[in-house]
């Protein structure tokens, strides 16, 4: 088993949601991975515990990764770099924003350097930045998009063991799924712990024929890295892509309503891109009668709240419903 640096605030709490349960007519609880520590936390913090251990073992003194301008993954990577005395270079897809706000403000505050690229040129730009750093005498360590490789996914294998140690065995685990590391780790962790409930990823941006094979391949690689010869196939991965049609980062009235409902019934703050989309899916599935009355449904909060304070989301949230 790969080693891990321990800087996340773990275990994250599992809490009851009585008001929201009543509003939705289901039995809903929440796992608070928005509370993992590390500069406002989120699911990337668990992945970074393993990725930073690997970076240190490789003698790295710089972290490089990529993401959107409001990337939670980039902000948590910048935080980890600051904490462990490393330089940080973020390759952000998009134009330089007019204002420093939300996650991007925090990137700057924690001393990250930024270069801009397009999504088509992302990998090329990463390689160039990596080569330039190496030539300049630095020892860069490349963290993949979303921290989702067989090392990062170990964070969510561990998270499943943590949930079991909390004596929590819900019938459903529902969460936002995108680059796949979270879901892959949960799926491997489920096999390891004997968890038999459903692990339902709500796709944030990809159709099922992209997301499910991605998660399955990453789960197989993650298990392999742990010394298990387990194979996961795409049809073993459960996901729902009905709620991502508006596209990545586009907040629709459904996400906005989910943010308001969670805030007003339970004082839980969702983010506009990931957790609000997953919550909007959960709310709709509850209305459709997908969950039985005695099912325990766990919503796994994966963080991201700083993006609420960035344009265009903050203006959209401030408008009347
Ligand atoms: C990155 C992210 C996700 C998606 O996790 P993956 O491991 O990329 O699938 C979900 N929620 C938030 C808040 C994130 O930042």
Rounded CA separation 275/310 (Å): 16
88 burial via Cβ count (<10 Å: 0-12, 13-18, 19+): buried
Q: How many residues does the chain have?
A: 321
Q: Quote the pLDDT of residue 2.
A: 84
CB half-sphere exposure, 100, CA atoms < 13 A: 9
Q: How confident is the model at residue 320 (pLDDT cuts 50, 70, 90)?
A: confident
Q: How confident is the model at residue 321 (pLDDT cuts 50, 70, 90)?
A: low
Structure tokens at 154: 């170990």
Q: Quote the pLDDT of residue 200.
A: 98
Q: For residues 2-18, give the mean pLDDT.
A: 97
Q: For residues 243-257, give the mean pLDDT.
A: 97
Q: Quote the pLDDT of residue 203.
A: 98
Q: How confident is the model at residue 223 (pLDDT cuts 50, 70, 90)?
A: very high
Q: How confident is the model at residue 1 (pLDDT cuts 50, 70, 90)?
A: low
Rounded CA separation 175/276 (Å): 10
Cβ(179) to ligand 1 under 6 A?
yes
pLDDT in tens, 208-217: 999 999 999 9
- Measured distance between the N- and C-terminal CA atoms of the chain, rounded to whole angstroms: 49
The DSSP secondary-structure symbol of 10 reads -
- Name the 3-class secondary structure at 204: coil
55 burial via Cβ count (<10 Å: 0-12, 13-18, 19+): buried
Pairing of strands 296-301, 113-117: unpaired
Q: Quote the pLDDT of residue 296.
A: 98
Cβ(42) to ligand 1 under 6 A?
yes
187-66-72 Cα angle (round to 5):
65
Instruction: Find, among 257, 316, 315, the residue nearest to 281 by Cα.
Output: 257
- Cis peptide leading into 11, omega within 30 of 0? yes
Instruction: Find, among 284, 283, 279, the residue nearest to 302 by Cα.
Output: 279
- Name the 3-class secondary structure at 22: helix
Judge whether residue 161 has pLDDT over 90: yes
Q: How many CB atoms lie within 10 A of CB 198?
A: 16
Structure tokens at 99: 């204002």
The DSSP secondary-structure symbol of 202 reads E
Q: How many CB atoms lie within 10 A of CB 121?
A: 13
With the most atoms of ligand 1 within 8 angstroms of its CB, the residue from 104, 146, 205 to mutate is: 146
Tell me the average pLDDT of the chain: 97
Cβ(71) to ligand 1 under 6 A?
no
Q: For residues 70-97, give the mean pLDDT.
A: 97
Q: For residues 218-223, give the mean pLDDT.
A: 98
CB 157 within 8 A of CB 184: no
Atom 8 of ligand 1, nearest CA residue:
179
Residues 6+ apart with CB under 8 A from 99: 311
Q: Report CA Rg, the chain.
A: 19
Judge whether residue 262 has pLDDT over 70: yes
Measure CA 231 to chain center.
Answer: 23
The DSSP secondary-structure symbol of 235 reads G
Cβ(271) to ligand 1 under 6 A?
yes
Rounded CA separation 75/196 (Å): 34
Ligand 1 atom closest to 152 (CA): 7
Cβ(304) to ligand 1 under 6 A?
yes
Q: Which residues are catalytic?
A: 71
Rounded CA separation 65/26 (Å): 39
């Amino acid at each position: 088993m790969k080693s891990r640096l321990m800087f996340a605030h773990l275990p994250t709490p599992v809490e009851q949601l009585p008001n929201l349960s009543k509003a939705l007519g289901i039995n809903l609880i929440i796992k608070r991975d928005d509370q993992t520590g590390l500069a406002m936390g989120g699911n990337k913090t668990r992945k970074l515990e393993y990725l930073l251990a690997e970076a240190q073992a490789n003698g790295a003194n710089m972290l490089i990764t990529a993401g959107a301008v409001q990337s939670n993954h980039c902000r948590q990577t910048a935080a980890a770099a600051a904490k462990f005395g490393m330089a940080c270079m973020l390759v952000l897809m998009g134009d330089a924003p007019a204002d420093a706000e939300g996650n991007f403000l925090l990137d700057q505050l924690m001393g990250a350097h930024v270069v801009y690229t397009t999504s088509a040129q992302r990998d090329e730009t990463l390689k160039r930045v990596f080569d330039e750093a190496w030539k300049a005498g630095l020892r860069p360590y490349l963290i993949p998009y979303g921290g989702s490789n067989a090392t990062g996914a170990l964070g969510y294998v561990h998270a499943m063991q943590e949930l079991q140690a909390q004596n929590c065995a819900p019938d459903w685990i529902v969460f936002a799924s995108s680059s796949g590391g979270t879901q892959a780790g949960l799926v491997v962790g489920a096999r390891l712990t004997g968890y038999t409930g459903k692990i339902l990823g709500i796709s944030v941006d990809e159709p099922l024929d992209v997301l499910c094979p991605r998660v399955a391949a990453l789960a197989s690689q993650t298990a392999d890295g742990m010394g298990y010869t387990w194979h996961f196939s795409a049809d073993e991965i459960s996901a729902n892509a009905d709620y991502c049609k508006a596209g990545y980062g586009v907040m629709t009235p459904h996400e906005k309503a989910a943010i308001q409902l969670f805030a007003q019934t339970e004082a839980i703050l969702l983010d506009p891109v990931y957790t609000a989309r997953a919550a909007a899916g959960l709310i709709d599935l509850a209305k459709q009668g997908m969950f039985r009355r005695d099912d325990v449904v766990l919503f796994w909060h994966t963080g991201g709240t700083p993006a609420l304070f960035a344009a265009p989301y903050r203006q959209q949230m401030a408008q009347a419903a």
